[in-house]
Structure formats: structure tokens, C-alpha cells
Amino acid sequence: MRGLRAQLTLWHAGLMALTLLALSGFTYALLIGVLHSRADAALHEFADTTARQIATTLYAGGSTPPPGTPRFLSNDLRSWGRYIQVVDTQGYVVEKSDGLNTHPLPVSADALRRGLAGETTFETVPGLGEHPVRIITTPVLMGRRVPYLVQAGTSLEGVEAALQRAGWILLVLTPTVFVMALVGGWLVVGRALRRVDDLRRTALEIQGTNLQRRIKHAGADDEIGRLAQAFDQMIARLDRSFQQVRQFSADASHELKTPLTAIRGEAEVVLMGNHTAEEYRQAIGSILESAERMSQVVESLLLLARADSGQNLVRREPVELGDVLLRAYESLEDLAARQHISVLIDEVEDLTVSGDPLWLNQILVNLISNAIKYTPEGGEVSVALRAAEGQAELTVRDTGIGIAPEHLPYIFDRFYRVDEGRARAAGGTGLGLSITRWAVEAHEGQIEVESEVGRGTLIRVRFPLATDGQFPQSDALPS
């Protein structure tokens, strides 16, 4: 955590300082350019005006320079404190302003040559005074002739001072901003990461026993807020699963406890006193019945546990659903006859699905035996298999007790029974429909139920039809 904080802060401040440095450099370069070009422009205008005035004077006095010491510069110009001088074609100073009395401006060979060629030259000369001096050398043009050159200079003191000040400001500003970015970044990142730390602490505190705890993040709906929400949702899901598991264990224990109590009761009664052979037979018979019931529950639980673990329990092969239906019907004929219920097969179409014949048989047996179990004597159960909307549709309809609407959503839940006493008496474990639904879904099918209390129940199961080429050659065996 601390590592991330330092990293983010350093990156942030470093990038900020780099940007600022680049910006400072650019601004400084721009400032140098602007200040120098402004100084040059002023110098150029001043020298140019003077050169043109000298040319005018020369034109007025004839085409040759006046003999003796020429006087081109007005008194004003000489004494204004500006540096200006006139040099002849040899580079000798013929006239200069008062400010240059002791130190005339130097005439470089290059400036002289270019000036005589009619060009203007700018030079920066250090060492003349405390500050460098900018010098312009411009020709006095008389047609194509250049009798004199005008040189003007200006100290770069002002420019240097301005640049120095700007430099100082930038030099102080950059590290200041860097330090501020460092401190600010450290605080801001720290605040954001503190919320991550809260999250971590809560995560550490959560165990199987306090899954009701939530982070309940009240802050902004940002990345961390959403992370906290996702975390809370995950805990809620875990909580639900834990509760289901707890409920399931409680139900399973209860389910096994009832036949166990019955077995113990029977055994205790048999052990006390003398009994006739018939009584012993009856007691052992009922103990066996309870044991049978327990093994049914254990078998179903085992099945569901394996289904839950995601093991691939379902084989895939082409199955004639009609054959499976007839087999299930035959296995339940006796039960139906004992309960005086007639089971009718309405319609059986030739339909092939892809699946496991054992599981498909289990589905049908569960549904038909439920219909028989929950239908009073003299009732009727009808079964049909037909194609509907490109799928194989199985329906099991009974004229039984029906299921009230408030129970309908739960009948596929494990251990759920509408009327516990009745279901138990009928030999139900409360797991049949959960197993059935799991098996239907493992075959990519859907199961639906419609029911009306006192009138009967209709269960509809749909499976996708098998398509050609769905099975590898080796699996294409008849079921």
C-alpha cells in the first residue's frame, strides 16, 4: 500500500515537474527572443533614421562629403546619452555622441564589409562595460554609393535584468511546484488509498460466522466505491450460499433423524418383553422400511452433491424418448394399480433427443410417481410426448390434489414439501423434484408447472431435439 502511494505520488510530481521545466524553458526562450527583437527594432529605427538624415544632408551639400570634420549629428543626438557614431569607409570614426567620448564603438571588419555592400549588421559585443552592448551598423546610402556608415549601440542591461528576473522566478517556481505536487499528491493518494485499506481490513474481518457484515461504502460512486459495492455483493452471495448450505444440512439431518428415531423405537419395543413371531416380523419389516427410506435419502443427497460439484454425470447419446417413456410407464404400473389410479398414454411421437437414457428415465419416473402419489384413488394420470416448437415436449398431467400458487415457486427446492405429513406418508423425500430439475437442465431442457388446487397438476418438460452430426461415430449406438 505504502509502495503504491509513494509510486503514484512520485510519478505525479515528477511528470508535473517535467512539464513545468519544459514550459519554463520554452517561456524563457520566447522571452529572450521577444526582448532582443524589441531592442533590435528600436536600434534599427534609430540608426536608419539617422542614416537617412545624413544622406539628405549630403545630397543638399553636394555629392562629396564636406571637408574637415563633418557635423552630421545634431546637438540633441550627440548629447542625448545615446550611443551613436558615424564612420567612414575605412572604419575611422568621424563623429560620435558624447557618451562614446572615451570608448567609441568597435567597428568589426565584417560589419564594415557588409555595410559597404549596403547591408545592415547586428552584433552583441561583450566587455565594453558592465553589460554587453548591442551594436547596429547600417550604411548611409546615396544611390549605390556608401560614403559613411552609422553605428548605434544600446546596453543590454535592461534585457539582461528582465531575463535574470524571469530566470529567478522560473528557477524558484519549478522546485516549489514540485514540492507542492509531492505533498498534495501524497495527501490525495493517501486519502484514496485509505478507503482501499478500510476495504482490506473489513475483508480480513469477515469469516463464515459474520457474513452479514458489509462495507457499506457511503462515499462517491468512483472506482473504489464500485469496488466496495462489488465486494458487498460478493459477500451477500456468499452469505446466501452459506445459509443454503446450513439449511440443507439441517434439513438433511432432520430427514435422516426421523427414520432413525423410528428404527430405535421399534428396536427398543422389540427388546422389551416377549413377542410373538408375527410381532417380530412386523417390527423387522418396519425397521427395514425405515432403513430403505434412509438409503433413499442418502442416495439422493449423494446424487445432488455430485451434481453440485459440477461432475459430468450425464452421458450424451441419441435417445428415443418414446422408448424411455414406455419403460417408465411399465415400471410404475404396479404402483398405479395399488393406488387405483389409471395411467394413460395420450400420444407418443417418434422423437430423438441427445442425452442419458438412465437420467431421462429417472426424470419420467419422478414425475409420473409424483402424479400418482398426489392423486387420490380413482384419479387419472395422463402422459404425452409430442413435438412442440422444434423441441420434444413431455407432459404429465394428473387429476390430483394440485399445488396452491404460494407453494408453486418452491416445489423444486430441496426438501420442500407442500404437506409434509402427506408427502412423507406417500414415501417422498422432498428431493425428487430438485433432482428432476437438475437432470432436465443438464440436458439443456426446461421444466414448468401449472396447477390448480383440487383439480390437478400439469408438468411440462421440453428438451432440444437431437440433430444429425451431433454425435461422434463411436457414440452413435442405439440406447
Residues near ligand ADP (CB under 6 A): 370-371, 374, 398, 400-403, 411, 416-419, 423, 428-434, 457
Helices 223-271 and 157-205, axial angle in degrees (round to 10): 10
Question: CB within 8 A of 159, min separation 6: which ones?
Answer: 35, 36, 39
Per the DSSP assignment, residues forming a β-bridge with 462 are 393, 446
Comparison of 392 and 401: residue with beta carbon closer to ligand ADP: 401
Q: How far is the CB of 305 from ligand ADP (least distance, A)?
A: 16
> Rounded to whole angstroms, how far apart are CA atoms 279 and 167?
114
Q: How far is the CB of 335 from ligand ADP (least distance, A)?
A: 13
> Rounded to whole angstroms, how far apart are CA atoms 199 and 204?
9
Rounded to whole angstroms, what are the CA distances from 21 to 6, 17, 28, 100, 184?
22, 6, 10, 42, 19
Residue type, 381: V
Residue type, 120: T
Rounded to whole angstroms, what are the CA distances from 46 to 53, 81, 152?
11, 13, 8
Q: How far is the CB of 423 from ligand ADP (least distance, A)?
A: 4
Comparison of 139 and 428: residue with beta carbon closer to ligand ADP: 428
Q: How far is the CB of 344 from ligand ADP (least distance, A)?
A: 15
> Rounded to whole angstroms, how far apart are CA atoms 357 and 319?
6
Comparison of 351 and 372: residue with beta carbon closer to ligand ADP: 372
Q: How far is the CB of 304 from ligand ADP (least distance, A)?
A: 11
Q: How far is the CB of 413 from ligand ADP (least distance, A)?
A: 8
Q: Which residue's C-alpha cell is 528582465?
A: 162
> Rounded to whole angstroms, how far apart are CA atoms 299 and 68?
135
The neighbour count for residue 468, using CB atoms within 10 Å, is: 6
Q: How far is CA 304 from the centre of its chain?
A: 36
> Rounded to whole angstroms, how far apart are CA atoms 353 and 361?
13
Q: How far is the CB of 1 from ligand ADP (least distance, A)?
A: 51
Comparison of 58 and 371: residue with beta carbon closer to ligand ADP: 371
Comparison of 361 and 457: residue with beta carbon closer to ligand ADP: 457
Q: What is the DSSP string of 114-172?
A: HHHTT--EEEEE-SSSSS-EEEEEEEEEETTEEEEEEEEEEE-HHHHHHHHHHHHHHHH
Comparison of 177 and 297: residue with beta carbon closer to ligand ADP: 297
Q: Which residue's C-alpha cell is 402422459?
A: 383
Q: How far is the CB of 284 from ligand ADP (least distance, A)?
A: 25
Comparison of 239 and 419: residue with beta carbon closer to ligand ADP: 419
Residue 127 buriedness (CB in 10 A; 0-12 / 13-18 / 19+): exposed
The torsion angles phi and psi of 291, rounded to 5 degrees, stand at -65, -40
Q: How far is the CB of 298 from ligand ADP (least distance, A)?
A: 14
Pairing state of beta strands 380-388 and 342-348?
A: parallel
DSSP one-letter code for 101: S
Comparison of 392 and 403: residue with beta carbon closer to ligand ADP: 403
Comparison of 33 and 376: residue with beta carbon closer to ligand ADP: 376
Comparison of 50 and 370: residue with beta carbon closer to ligand ADP: 370
HSE on the CB side for 395, CA within 13 Å? 16
Q: How far is the CB of 327 from ligand ADP (least distance, A)?
A: 20
Comparison of 141 and 449: residue with beta carbon closer to ligand ADP: 449
- Secondary structure (3-state) at 249: helix
Residue facing ligand ADP at closest CB distance: 428
Q: How far is the CB of 425 from ligand ADP (least distance, A)?
A: 10
